[in-house]
Chain A
Amino acid sequence: MKTRNKLAGMLSALVLAAVGALMLSRNVSAAGEGKITGTVKLAGTAPHQRAIDMSKEPYCQKLHADHPVTLENVVVGSNGGLQNVVVYVSEGLPASAGGQVPSEKPKWDQKGCQYIPHVVALDINQHFLVTNSDPTSHNIHPIPTKNPQWNKSQPPGAQPFDVSWANEEVSIPVKCNIHPWMHGWMAVVKGPTAVSDGNGSFTLDNVPPGNYTLTAWQETYGAQTQKVTVAAGKPATADFTFKAK
């Protein structure tokens, strides 16, 4: 009698799990339908981005001798598009959406004494790789407030660090103490997110139909929000404009 009960219990648990899995996969494919695209622009004149003096690291200075690297606090394309803006869904996502951590591992490279990319957007618990392409050591030092702070030296030729962040945080400043001009940002959000490209364009994939609040965050100008509705089978658009101060 006892074993029977147990068996029945196990069976129903199995059935439940199977149904659950089905429902989950349904949600995922539904999520695959929606999409938000848009452009971020800067109105007004972009602040001057001064050239960085890398003379303390002769290798990097030589590398950029012809095209000195400038600050990247405000990066504007020829069409006025604002680059490096993090766009994400800040409200309205169903609890089931964004439950799956993307398996894609973005790379965060230290190259020519710069972070490439300057801004990365990650899902919570999404793994990413920190690499060093330079013949000099860097210490990678993210300084979050909602996640644990760490600081690791990465000498030339070292294995990549495979890391992730457990809590939402827009955005975590990252610096190299050896090369104080190196700084970048890691945005950690739950669900669909993107960083605007050189034309200021972005695409958020896997947004299920619904009503949302979209947030755009830029390191110098801060955050902006707007409402957007995604209908089934039709990409929604949302454009942002930041004002130069």
Chain B
Amino acid sequence: MPTIHKTTFLSMLLLSLGLGVAVAQNGGASSGFPTPKNDFTASEQRGHGLYLRYCVGCHGVLGDGEGENAPYIDPRPRNFILATFRCRSTSTGTLPTDQDLENSLERGLVNSNMPSWRPTTPYDRKDLVAYIKTFSPRWKTEKPGTPIEIPAEPEVTPERVKAGEALFQKLECWKCHGVEGRGNGPSADTLTDDQNRPIQAFNFHDGTRFKCGSTDRDLYKIFMTGLDGSPMPSFADNVKPDEAWDLVFYLRTLQPMKTKAKLIAKQLGLKPINPAGAPAQPPANPENK
């Protein structure tokens, strides 16, 4: 409930801001609406109106993330001109699907100022997505990536939780997220996003939800596709689908919610991983000879 309130308040605030901009932009034009720009589709046109009302204060008239509130916001609003998005069901480096973007609008991005736009209708969100895609030419020359395949979730077992723990160590998630997943690994304090601004690694202990969703499947997607524009890389090239589920289960043991995985971890008496157990010799990689 408090989130809704906040959102409504914000929307109203931005509504006034947005209208101001719309009027200012319109200058001498006689109709009350912004003059149609170039060759917008009906959906983009509607999205444009909604954008000026709700989004422009943060994401800016040009979609460059430089709205008038932007300087006061950390992390900064997304720059749509680059078409680089965190929350995707598609591989790193590819465009997200419309559904990915609509989901982000509906959900909002926790630990940021990006509110949930659940108060708008699904049609509004479709139009908004259509409009923000007009900011980058990439949407004209490239197709969205293909969503990665996620096999059905297996049963969580002690073996899987332990295998997930081994992966957390081997894949060196802890370098950024810390051995206990508190977002305080050895590389954490030097992390920067693609705009060279400092950024925090996720702390699993104080978050039940992620920016890019909260289900097990969302979590699977997050580390397989990566959060483009942030230091959080994609692991899809080196983690098999079945292993990915093991890692999901282990990550759940670090979070505050009571889950079956967490119960298993307690029964196993799992301790934070020991990074000193990492290999010390260069691997035999035939390609590097």
Residues of A within 8 A of B (CB): 56, 59, 109, 111, 129, 131-137, 139-141, 143, 145, 148-161, 177-180
Q: For residue B200, give the distance in angstroms from its CB to the closest CB of chain A.
A: 12
A56 to B288, CA, bound (A): 24
A148 to B237, CA, bound (A): 18
A140 to B233, CA, bound (A): 8
Contact residues of B between 164 and 209, Cβ < 8 Å to A: 170-172, 175-176, 186-187, 190-192, 194
Residues of B within 8 A of A159 (CB): 237, 287
Do A154 and B187 have beta carbons less than 8 Å apart? Answer: no
Most buried by A among B176, B230, B280, B288: B288
Do A56 and B186 have beta carbons less than 8 Å apart? Answer: yes
Do B186 and A152 have beta carbons less than 8 Å apart? Answer: no
For A58, the closest partner residue in chain B by CB is B280
Chain B interface residue count, CB cutoff 8 Å, equals: 41
Do B283 and A135 have beta carbons less than 8 Å apart? Answer: yes
Do A135 and B281 have beta carbons less than 8 Å apart? Answer: yes
Most buried by A among B231, B234, B284: B231
Residues of A within 8 A of B285 (CB): 131-133, 157-158
**20 A-B pairs in the complex with CB atoms less than 8 angstroms apart:** A56-B187, A109-B288, A129-B287, A131-B288, A135-B281, A135-B282, A137-B171, A139-B233, A148-B84, A150-B93, A152-B92, A152-B235, A152-B237, A153-B171, A155-B172, A156-B279, A156-B283, A177-B191, A178-B176, A180-B190
Since A132-B285, A148-B94, A177-B233 are in contact, a sample of 8 more A-B pairs with Cβ atoms closer than 8 Å, ordered by chain A residue number, is A129-B287, A150-B226, A153-B235, A155-B238, A157-B284, A157-B285, A178-B187, A180-B190
In the complex, whether B278 has a CB less than 8 A from a CB of chain A is yes
Do B172 and A151 have beta carbons less than 8 Å apart? Answer: no
In the complex, whether B138 has a CB less than 8 A from a CB of chain A is yes
Summed over the interface, the residue pairs from A and B with CB atoms below 8 Å come to a total of 106
Contact residues of B between 211 and 251, Cβ < 8 Å to A: 226, 228-235, 237-238
- Contacts A137-B172, A154-B238 given: A131-B287 contact, CB under 8 Å? yes
Do B238 and A150 have beta carbons less than 8 Å apart? Answer: no
Q: For residue A99, give the distance in angstroms from its CB to the closest CB of chain B.
A: 19
In the complex, whether B10 has a CB less than 8 A from a CB of chain A is no
**Which residue of A148, A156, A180 is within 8 Å of B187 (Cβ)?**
A180
Do A153 and B234 have beta carbons less than 8 Å apart? Answer: yes
Interface of B is mostly: loop
Do B282 and A152 have beta carbons less than 8 Å apart? Answer: no
Do B170 and A155 have beta carbons less than 8 Å apart? Answer: yes
**Which residue of B83, B226, B231, B237 is within 8 Å of A161 (Cβ)?**
B237
For A151, the closest partner residue in chain B by CB is B233
Q: For residue A73, give the distance in angstroms from its CB to the closest CB of chain B.
A: 16
In the complex, whether B62 has a CB less than 8 A from a CB of chain A is no
**Which residue of A135, A149, A180 is within 8 Å of B228 (Cβ)?**
A149
For B171, the closest partner residue in chain A by CB is A155
Do A152 and B233 have beta carbons less than 8 Å apart? Answer: yes
In the complex, whether B4 has a CB less than 8 A from a CB of chain A is no
Residues of B within 8 A of A135 (CB): 278-283
For B195, the closest partner residue in chain A by CB is A143
Q: For residue B11, give the distance in angstroms from its CB to the closest CB of chain A.
A: 31
In the complex, whether B82 has a CB less than 8 A from a CB of chain A is yes
Do A149 and B194 have beta carbons less than 8 Å apart? Answer: yes
Most buried by B among A56, A143, A145, A151: A151
Q: For residue B139, give the distance in angstroms from its CB to the closest CB of chain A.
A: 12
